[in-house]
């Protein structure tokens, strides 16, 4: 009897608390859903969901909405989490277009059938753009950065290395730092580029093994690697060109140099093959806007010390004045459909053999 | 007699409740237990299960071609993964023990002695809890790394670098992180331990050590809770694993798991296999806890509980105790604080010692930098409020022997502790797999990438820890407290509010703050589940830290911690000002 009544008392008490908890949860749900409803009904057009890791994406989506009236929902995050979201939700995708750096990721998505093929906007490509266009037109290049740029402190390093082989010399023992490809999206294309340049995976592994023997220091991403450079832990940092040039703009003691050859890292947009037709049409308009003069202006002004420091892929659009000329630099393009499928294997090797 | 107690003795003087309210309460009461279990099933069990089932059936979630395979589980026992899991196991055990070894004496010193500055100890513990684990790790790393601050100040101590940048440093940091959990659990236990037990021991001739031998076993639920939480929190920690441990080339399971997901293409089944093993690892402290507490009752908090008397420390004793506690705070707060603040005041990636406020100006004036902090504040308030309500119910079910079967308690216990051990990133992936199922979309349940689902995930992931923290206090509640109120004519809710709430008000406030702090800067769940366009603080901070805006990210971190500190101060101050004096006195101590 006592047990029964105690149970009833508990039920009453717990019931009151549960009702309160539900009310709060419902309140949270209502506020959220009302917000999204308001967003989707503010215009008759469907909402374009943009997944982007670009520093100027907020400025770009705002400008696009202003120019076209198309409502945009922006998911701005690093490349890794965005790709993780896409892979986790691929049986019921929620994105309209993806805008990140690195063609290998797009090749991987394309090979899984997740990208719309065959769209090429009306654009007057320059040579960088021509080199970055995929044959099946499953993604569209919007700019190019280089991987990796050599960043150093001019006051401490008066005679920086001129070739990739010189990084292996005892003079630079313990002085070279780079990013971890498992944490830094642009770093795998750099490693793949070195393997491509050196004649294959085995030669590339041999090169990085020697670099490790010479005291290579790995940091997670561009920011920490540059921090290691400025704090004096390393003397030479191998990072994405836009990060390096951005650091130079903030610290005049730093300088950037490109070693021969340097790998092109296109920033690109791919459209979700499973998105509704109306959203895919809007995504195509978004790409055309990005490649228009107005869009290029936004790209070059939206993140002046970061992603705006890119090399344009269109005729008639000049890079920002702070970017070093590519006239005397040999660039190379890696085939993303060859190197993309090797990414997991090579990254795992790099993690177990070079990082550890 | 039992029959008489079942009904209030003075029904005539009790005002009649409105029929509608009585009906609503009774209706809610009948539904409460199944509803609570339903919520647990949908917010914890199914997402966790979805994540774990993926290990053996990747095809089910479109993450592979096999409908059934054990290859991912086998893979978790080989190579680098096996090493990482082994490392995680022993490091987490050591960290949990370190947490109790430090937290227990600090809780006793602050709660039962005249320790100088004892008023600040609880606040300091909250500050330790406030810091996301990656922040102290970065602070320590910045101090001791080659060419770090220590070397710049002329302290050439490679031995210290070697010690901190390795397993010792990892155990130290995870152990320090466990200290507040131990402190809170033991403080709650001490609050219910009246002076009468110690007095009884002394009256019967026991020495101080003898009295301690009597009291320590009475604190067993709190100590075992602290060990279990410390182990589970350490084994599922990602902040230290991804910073100090990673940079020390000391691989932990959560980082290995993260790599499986962050690689391209990600391998969710491999990550889930590691998640399975981590969840299984929680069985270790759970089994030990059950074995230690089996068949014993720790209900000792009643209406007759007497306030404890503070022990007067001698001058040398007080100095030693204060120095020890201060050392803990220097190690746990001073170093990371220095790392974060110095990082936020340097504009050029830390290349020089010239200080500037440019990063703070960027946070305060650049668009999109303050919004995430405001957003996380709202999420944390909602999350903490709902979590504490749910956590109390769960703690009640776990602790009270009346009305709950032992099987129900065991199932609930394992479910909650497993959820603590399941790495957040796997937990969040489970949310995507389940709540983004096409069948749910067809049913009109489109929660993925909404703030609602993010907040639900925050609540579900915090509820297990919250219930653990509350369990120490709830297990000490004697049913007589509410029975007494009922006997004196109070209604059901009034009896609870007058008989039970005053006794548990302080632990409830503490649990609220704990959840608030955990949600405010939570990273892995936020990273995968936040609504597009509405990043919470942790996502925005990581974005800045990982890119070219290290100083801005550190400034954002410092501001976030400051905001959280203000919130904690406001809640603690509000409780002190608004709670009736009797509420604050119950479980408190008086000067001796």
A33 is a domain residue: no
Bigger pLDDT: A246 vs B362:
A246
Could you tell me if A155 and A218 lie in one domain?
Answer: yes
In angstroms, what separates the C-alpha of B51 from chain A's closest C-alpha?
11
Could you tell me if A247 and A192 lie in one domain?
Answer: yes
B58 is a domain residue: yes
Structural domain boundaries, residue B216:
32-293+352-590
Could you tell me if A156 and A255 lie in one domain?
Answer: yes
> Out of A286-290, B139-143, B471-475, which region has the weakest mean confidence (pLDDT)?
B471-475
Could you tell me if A67 and A154 lie in one domain?
Answer: no
Bigger pLDDT: A179 vs B18:
A179
Considering only CB atoms, B496 lies closest to which of A13, A49, A84, namely A13
pLDDT in tens, A47-99: 999 999 998 999 999 999 999 999 999 988 888 888 888 988 887 888 999 99
pLDDT in tens, A272-291: 999 999 999 999 999 999 99
Angstrom distance (rounded) from CA A208 to CA A212: 6
CATH classification at residue B417: 1.10.3720.10
Print burial letters for A269-304: b (CB count within 10 Å at least 16), e (below 16): bbbbbbbeeebbbbbbbbbbbbbbeebbebbbebbe
Contacting residues for B534 by C-beta, under 8 A, at least 6 apart: B375, B451
Could you tell me if A138 and A174 lie in one domain?
Answer: no
Could you tell me if A183 and A247 lie in one domain?
Answer: yes
Tell me what the pLDDT averaged over chain A comes to.
86
Count of A–B CB contacts within 8 Å?
Answer: 255
Give me the helices (H) in A292-350, please.
293-301, 336-339, 343-350
Q: Which residues of chain B are within 8 Å of residue A11 when distances are taken between CB atoms?
A: 29-30, 32-33
HSE at residue A312, side-chain half, CA atoms within 13 A, is: 22
User: What's the structural domain count of chain B?
Assistant: 1
A30 is a domain residue: no
In angstroms, what separates the C-alpha of A21 from chain B's closest C-alpha?
5
B86 is a domain residue: yes
| SS3 category, B340 | helix
Which of A226-230, A313-317, B6-10, B514-518 tops mean pLDDT? Answer: A313-317
Q: Which residues of chain B are within 8 Å of residue A88 when distances are taken between CB atoms?
A: 266, 268, 429, 432-433, 436, 528
Nearest CA in chain B to A179: B546
Angstrom distance (rounded) from CA B174 to CA B171: 5
Yes or no, beta carbons of B266 and A7 under 8 Å apart: no
In angstroms, what separates the C-alpha of A64 from chain B's closest C-alpha?
15
Tokens of B6: 């079942």
A134 burial (CB, 10 Å; 0-12 / 13-18 / 19+) is: buried
B581 is a domain residue: yes
Q: Residue B229's pLDDT is what?
A: 82
B222, B186 contact by CB (below 8 A): yes
The most distant pair of C-alpha atoms in chain B lies apart, rounded to whole Å, by 81
Could you tell me if A197 and A251 lie in one domain?
Answer: yes
Considering only CB atoms, A73 lies closest to which of B28, B452, B533, namely B533
Q: Which residues of chain A are within 8 Å of residue B553 when distances are taken between CB atoms?
A: 223
Nearest CA in chain A to B343: A227
A37 is a domain residue: no
- Average pLDDT over every residue of A340-350: 90
Could you tell me if A248 and A175 lie in one domain?
Answer: yes
Angstrom distance (rounded) from CA B387 to CA B389: 5
Angstrom distance (rounded) from CA B543 to CA B127: 24
> Out of B142-151, B356-365, B379-388, which region has the weakest mean confidence (pLDDT)?
B142-151
Could you tell me if A254 and A269 lie in one domain?
Answer: no
B183 is a domain residue: yes
CATH classification at residue A58: 3.40.190.10
B301 is a domain residue: no
Q: What is the ipTM of this complex?
A: 0.70
pLDDT in tens, B258-295: 888 777 778 888 888 888 888 788 777 777 776 666 55
Structural domain boundaries, residue A62:
48-145+265-323
Angstrom distance (rounded) from CA B347 to CA B354: 8
B251 is a domain residue: yes
Could you tell me if A249 and A275 lie in one domain?
Answer: no
B80, A352 contact by CB (below 8 A): yes
Q: Residue A9's pLDDT is what?
A: 45
pLDDT in tens, B288-333: 776 666 555 555 555 555 556 677 888 888 899 999 999 999 988 8
Q: Which residues of chain A are within 8 Å of residue B532 when distances are taken between CB atoms?
A: 49-51, 73-75
User: What's the structural domain count of chain A?
Assistant: 2
Q: What percent of chain A has pLDDT over 90?
A: 67
B226 is a domain residue: yes
Could you tell me if A168 and A87 lie in one domain?
Answer: no
A38 is a domain residue: no
DSSP B31-75: HHHHHHHHHHIIIIIHHHHHHHHHHH-GGGGTSSS-SS--HHHHH
Inter-helix orientation angle B19-40/A2-41, to 10°: 80
Considering only CB atoms, A28 lies closest to which of B5, B429, B452, namely B452
pTM of the model: 0.75
Q: Residue B334's pLDDT is what?
A: 87
Q: Looking at the predicted structure, is the pLDDT value of residue B233 above 80?
A: yes
Report the residue of A5, A11, A78 to disrupt the B interface, i.e. the one with the largest count of B CBs within 10 Å: A11
Could you tell me if A137 and A283 lie in one domain?
Answer: yes
């Amino acid at each position: 009897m006592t047990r029964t009544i105690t149970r009833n008392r508990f039920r009453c008490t717990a019931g009151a608390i549960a009702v309160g908890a539900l009310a709060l949860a419902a309140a949270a749900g209502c506020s959220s859903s009302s917000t999204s409803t308001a967003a989707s009904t503010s215009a008759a057009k469907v909402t374009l969901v943009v997944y982007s890791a670009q520093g100027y994406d907020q400025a770009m989506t705002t400008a696009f909405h202003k120019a076209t009236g198309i409502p945009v929902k922006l998911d701005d995050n690093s490349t890794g989490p965005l790709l993780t979201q896409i892979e986790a939700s691929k049986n019921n995708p929620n994105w309209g277009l993806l805008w990140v750096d690195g063609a290998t990721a797009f090749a991987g998505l394309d090979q899984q059938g997740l990208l719309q093929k065959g769209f090429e906007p009306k654009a007057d490509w320059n040579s960088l753009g021509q080199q970055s266009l995929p044959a099946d037109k499953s993604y569209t290049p919007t700019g190019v950065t280089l991987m990796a740029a050599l960043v150093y402190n001019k006051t401490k390093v008066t005679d920086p290395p001129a070739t990739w082989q010189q990084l292996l010399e005892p003079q630079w023992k313990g002085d070279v730092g780079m990013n971890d490809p498992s944490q830094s999206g642009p770093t795998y294309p750099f490693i793949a580029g070195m393997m491509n340049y050196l004649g294959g995976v085995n030669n590339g592994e041999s090169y990085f093994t020697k670099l490790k023997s010479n005291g290579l220091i790995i940091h997670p991403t561009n920011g920490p690697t540059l921090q290691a450079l400025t704090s004096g832990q390393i003397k030479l940092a191998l990072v994405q060109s836009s990060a390096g040039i951005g650091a130079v703009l903030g610290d005049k003691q730093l300088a950037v140099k490109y070693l021969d050859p340097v790998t092109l890292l296109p920033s690109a947009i791919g459209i979700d093959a499973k998105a509704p037709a109306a959203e895919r049409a809007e995504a195509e308009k978004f790409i055309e806007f990005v490649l228009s003069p107005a869009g290029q202006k936004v790209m070059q002004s939206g993140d002046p010390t970061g992603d705006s420091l890119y090399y344009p892929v269109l005729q008639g659009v000049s890079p920002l004045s702070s970017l070093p000329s590519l006239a005397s630099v040999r660039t190379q393009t890696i085939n993303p459909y060859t190197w993309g499928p090797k990414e997991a294997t090579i990254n795992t090797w790099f993690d177990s053999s070079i990082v550890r | 007699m039992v029959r008489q107690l079942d009904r209030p003795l003075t029904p005539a003087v009790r005002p009649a409740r409105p029929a509608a309210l009585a009906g609503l309460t009774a209706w809610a009461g009948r539904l409460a237990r199944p509803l609570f279990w339903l919520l647990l099933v949908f917010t914890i069990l199914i997402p966790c299960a979805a994540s774990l089932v993926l290990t053996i059936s990747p095809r089910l979630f479109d993450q592979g071609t096999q409908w059934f395979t054990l290859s991912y589980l086998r893979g978790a026992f080989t190579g680098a993964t096996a090493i990482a899991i082994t490392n995680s196991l022993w490091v987490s055990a050591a960290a949990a023990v370190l947490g109790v070894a430090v937290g227990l004496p600090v809780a006793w010193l602050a709660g039962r002695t005249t320790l100088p500055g004892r008023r600040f100890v609880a606040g300091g513990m909250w500050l330790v809890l406030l810091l996301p684990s990656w922040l102290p790790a970065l602070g320590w790393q910045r101090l001791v790394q080659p060419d770090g601050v220590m070397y710049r100040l002329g302290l050439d101590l490679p031995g210290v670098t070697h010690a901190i940048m390795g397993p010792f440093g990892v155990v130290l940091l995870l152990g320090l992180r466990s200290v507040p959990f131990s402190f809170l659990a033991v403080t709650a236990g001490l609050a219910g331990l009246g002076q009468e037990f110690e007095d009884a021991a002394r009256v019967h001739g026991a020495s101080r050590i003898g009295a301690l031998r009597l009291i320590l076993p009475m604190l067993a639920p709190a100590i075992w809770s602290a060990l279990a939480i410390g182990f589970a929190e350490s084994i599922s920690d990602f902040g230290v694993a991804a910073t100090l441990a990673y940079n020390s080339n000391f691989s932990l399971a959560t980082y290995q798991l993260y790599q499986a997901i962050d690689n391209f293409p990600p391998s969710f089944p491999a990550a889930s296999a590691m998640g399975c093993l981590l969840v299984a690892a929680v069985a270790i402290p759970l089994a030990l806890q059950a074995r230690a507490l089996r068949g014993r009752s720790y209900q000792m908090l009643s209406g007759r509980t007497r306030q404890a008397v503070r022990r007067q420390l001698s001058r040398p004793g007080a100095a030693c105790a204060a120095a020890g506690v201060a050392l803990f705070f220097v190690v746990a707060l001073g170093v990371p604080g220095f790392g974060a603040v110095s990082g936020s005041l340097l504009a050029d990636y830390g290349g020089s010692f010239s200080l500037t406020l440019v990063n703070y100006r960027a946070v305060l004036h650049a668009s999109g930098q303050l919004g995430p902090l405001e957003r996380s504040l709202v999420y944390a308030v909602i999350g903490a409020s709902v979590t504490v309500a749910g956590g109390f119910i769960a703690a009640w079910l776990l602790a009270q022997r009346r009305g709950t079967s032992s099987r129900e308690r065991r199932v609930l216990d394992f479910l909650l502790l497993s959820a603590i051990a399941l790495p957040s990133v796997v937990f969040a992936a489970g949310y995507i797999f389940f709540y983004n199922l096409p069948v749910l979309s067809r049913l009109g349940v489109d929660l993925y990438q909404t703030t609602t689902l993010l907040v639900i995930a925050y609540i579900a992931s915090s509820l297990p820890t919250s219930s653990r923290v509350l369990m120490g206090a709830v297990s000490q509640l004697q049913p007589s407290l509410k029975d007494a109120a009922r006997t004196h004519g109070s209604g059901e809710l009034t009896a609870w509010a007058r008989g039970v709430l005053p006794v548990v008000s302080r632990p409830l406030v503490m649990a609220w703050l704990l959840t608030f702090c955990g949600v405010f800067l939570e990273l892995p769940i936020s990273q995968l589940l936040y609504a597009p366009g509405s990043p919470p603080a942790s996502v925005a901070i990581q974005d800045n830290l990982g890119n070219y805006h290290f100083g801005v990210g550190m400034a954002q971190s410092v501001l976030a911690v400051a905001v959280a500190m203000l919130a904690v101060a406001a809640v603690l101050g509000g409780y002190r000002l608004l709670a009736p004096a009797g509420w604050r006195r119950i479980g408190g101590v008086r000067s001796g």
